[in-house]
């Protein structure tokens, strides 16, 4: 068994972390104080990793003032320069990838390759952002008036508030912050208090680059509870955009608060992702895709596969093979080699897992595998439950490795089961039949923001826009043209003639 205290001490030394850390950065680190601090506890074995101080109202006020001021300066610097700064940050993350990934593993419980993968996701979006910095294009239209030019431009929006969840404790911040900073915004980050240490570790590296480059404080960090920080951000008219990642319940609340003041929000809320496995699939590919989607990160990704809909002709064979994969998967400390399933984030999550398994059985589900804790602590067995269409629990997102299996006979039936949930984040179909594939991609097909063919619901690349429909909230982050949400669009009409001709042929003669 890895000695976690020893690993912690070594990693802390390399990253400049202490047992007590300031959790507030707004151009400088605010002194640590014991009152209101939060404790970072490793889900691996309950080890206390560190204490992180949290924001008071006065810290909040000061920080928003500082990033608002920084916005004026930053938004006026050329975008390619901004992109080059973000590239430097990615270069620095490359240097610290292993150490930072280990912090993610220790604090969020991700297995080593996933902890490293999370930092890689930050690095990737940083390099993407640099390319983007020379591609913030607007359209030019043909004006109906003589000697007129009509075009649209994208203008930096202002300070952006970013609220992130525990399960991607650093990558989701970078999806938002690196893109926002590239387009000219400044950001303030409120991370989940379950992963406060990771936020401090990330900001230590990022703030060093800011200091070396003599930048205004473009990125701020405010650890703190929902009331002091999150709620204030949602209501604060000085922050034109809030990007929130987390549960549907909290997202609905934040989204309502923001829209009440007619602010903008990007909501990336829960998923209830489904994979359809047809009789025309390559079973080896389908098994690996579903197993990864359902068990990776112990089922704690927004994109985790929570439901699998299998054609009746291969139903038993598929489930038997899946079950044997589940039986052989190594569960344990994420720092150990070969472990694929780490712990749940905390005891509350274990309780939710057990309650869902119980409810599913009460509602008529049949437990095929798992359904109970594994050893002590926060470890649970990944679980497969045969479900019937309409079981209420299968329409909920439980952040745990529980997979509900359904049988189907026609594609229409499979699609109906697939879409019959409130959430709409990610989806998959495993098939080699082009007609099934195209049906899945049609308007009658997957109603999700992300659709995958022959690969897992989880594990999206940064190059595409990330987000989903229905209760998932409709927001898009990361690649493609998601950058547009961090800017305001302005339609510009320019008259370079000697008269004022009016559109639609309207006359207004004032001789």
302 is catalytic: yes
Candidates 107, 114, 274, 302; catalytic one: 302
Under rule CB under 6 A, residue 166 binds ligand UN1: no
Given CA atoms 196, 206, 119, 468 in this order, what sign does their dihedral have? Answer: positive
Near ligand UN1 in 450-469, by CB under 6 A: 458-460
Choose between 172 and 291: whose C-beta lies nearer to ligand UN1: 172
Could you tell me which stretch among 183-191, 217-225, 301-309, 323-331 binds ligand UN1 (CB under 6 A)? 301-309
Choose between 277 and 458: whose C-beta lies nearer to ligand UN1: 458
Give the nearest distance from C-beta 301 to ligand UN1 in angstroms: 4
Token code pair at residue 40: 């970072």
Under rule CB under 6 A, residue 51 binds ligand UN1: no
**Site for ligand UN1 (CB under 6 A): which residue of 160, 302, 308, 345?**
302
Under rule CB under 6 A, residue 303 binds ligand UN1: yes
| Cα distances (angstroms) measured from residue 507 to each of 148, 427, 495, 504 | 17, 55, 17, 9
Choose between 70 and 458: whose C-beta lies nearer to ligand UN1: 458
Under rule CB under 6 A, residue 394 binds ligand UN1: no
Q: Which long-range contacts (CB under 8 A, 24 or more apart) does 463-468 make?
A: 463/128, 466/175, 466/268, 467/266, 467/268, 467/425, 468/268, 468/269, 468/271, 468/423, 468/424, 468/425, 468/426
Under rule CB under 6 A, residue 122 binds ligand UN1: no
448 is catalytic: no
**Site for ligand UN1 (CB under 6 A): which residue of 54, 90, 207, 245?**
245
Choose between 167 and 446: whose C-beta lies nearer to ligand UN1: 167
Identify the bridge partners of residue 450 per DSSP, sorted by sequence position.
426
Give the nearest distance from C-beta 223 to ligand UN1 in angstroms: 19
Under rule CB under 6 A, residue 250 binds ligand UN1: no
Under rule CB under 6 A, residue 167 binds ligand UN1: yes
Between strands 241-245 and 264-268, the pairing is: parallel
* CA–CA separation, 355 and 206 (whole Å): 41
Token code pair at residue 328: 């052989």
The residues, ordered by sequence, that sit 6+ positions from 132 with a Cβ below 8 Å of its Cβ are 83, 179, 182, 483
Q: Are 175 and 466 in contact (CB under 8 A)?
A: yes
Choose between 344 and 458: whose C-beta lies nearer to ligand UN1: 458
The residues, ordered by sequence, that sit 6+ positions from 511 with a Cβ below 8 Å of its Cβ are none
Q: What residues are annotated to the active site?
A: 268, 302
Binding site for ligand UN1 (CB under 6 A): 121, 167-168, 172, 245, 301-303, 458-460
């Amino acid at each position: 068994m890895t000695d976690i205290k020893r690993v912690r001490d070594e990693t802390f030394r390399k990253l400049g972390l202490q047992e007590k850390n300031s959790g507030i950065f707004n151009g400088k680190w605010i002194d640590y104080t014991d009152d209101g601090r939060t404790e970072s506890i490793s889900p691996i074995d309950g080890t206390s990793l560190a204490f992180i101080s949290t924001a008071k109202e006065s810290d909040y006020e000061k920080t928003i003032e500082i990033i608002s001021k920084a916005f004026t300066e930053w938004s006026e610097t050329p975008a390619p320069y901004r992109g080059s700064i973000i590239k430097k940050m990615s270069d620095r993350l490359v240097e610290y990838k292993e150490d930072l990934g280990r912090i993610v593993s220790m604090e969020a419980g991700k297995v080593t390759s996933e902890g490293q993968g999370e930092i890689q996701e930050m690095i990737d979006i940083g390099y993407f952002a640099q390319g983007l910095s020379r591609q913030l294009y607007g359209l030019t239209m043909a004006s109906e008036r003589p000697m007129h030019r009509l075009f649209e431009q994208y203008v930096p929006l202002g300070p952006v508030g970013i609220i992130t969840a525990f399960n991607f404790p650093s990558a989701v911040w970078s999806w938002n912050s690196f893109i926002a900073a590239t387009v000219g915004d400044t950001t303030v980050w409120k991370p989940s208090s379950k992963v406060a240490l990771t936020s401090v570790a990330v900001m230590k590296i990022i703030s060093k680059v800011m200091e070396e480059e003599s930048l205004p404080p473009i990125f701020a960090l405010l650890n703190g509870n929902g009331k002091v920080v999150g709620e204030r951000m949602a209501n604060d008219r000085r922050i034109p955009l809030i990007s929130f990642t987390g549960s549907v319940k909290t997202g609905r609340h934040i989204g309502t608060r923001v829209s009440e003041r007619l602010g903008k929000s990007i909501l990336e809320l829960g998923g209830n992702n489904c994979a359809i496995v047809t009789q025309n699939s390559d079973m080896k590919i389908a098994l690996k895709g579903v197993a990864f989607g359902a068990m990776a990160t112990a089922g704690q990704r927004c994109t985790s596969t929570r439901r699998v809909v299998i054609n009746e002709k291969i139903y038993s064979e598929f489930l038997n093979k899946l079950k044997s994969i589940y039986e052989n998967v190594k569960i344990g400390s994420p720092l150990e080699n070969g472990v694929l399933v780490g712990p749940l984030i905390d005891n509350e999550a274990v309780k939710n897992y057990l309650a869902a398994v119980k409810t599913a059985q009460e509602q008529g589900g049949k437990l095929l595998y798992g359904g109970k804790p594994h050893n002590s602590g926060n470890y649970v067995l990944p679980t497969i439950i045969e479900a019937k269409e309409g079981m209420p629990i299968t329409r909920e997102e439980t952040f745990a490795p529980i997979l509900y299996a359904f049988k189907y006979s026609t594609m229409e039936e499979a699609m109906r089961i697939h879409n019959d949930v409130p959430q709409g984040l990610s989806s998959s179909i495993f098939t080699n039949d082009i007609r099934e594939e195209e049906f899945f991609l049609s308007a009658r097909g997957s109603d999700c923001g992300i659709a995958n063919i022959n690969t897992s619901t989880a594990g999206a690349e940064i190059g595409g826009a990330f987000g989903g429909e229905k209760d998932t909230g409709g927001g898009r982050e990361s690649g493609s043209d998601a950058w547009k949400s961090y800017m305001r669009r302005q339609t510009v009409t320019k008259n370079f003639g000697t008269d004022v001709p009016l559109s639609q042929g309207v006359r207004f003669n004032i001789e």
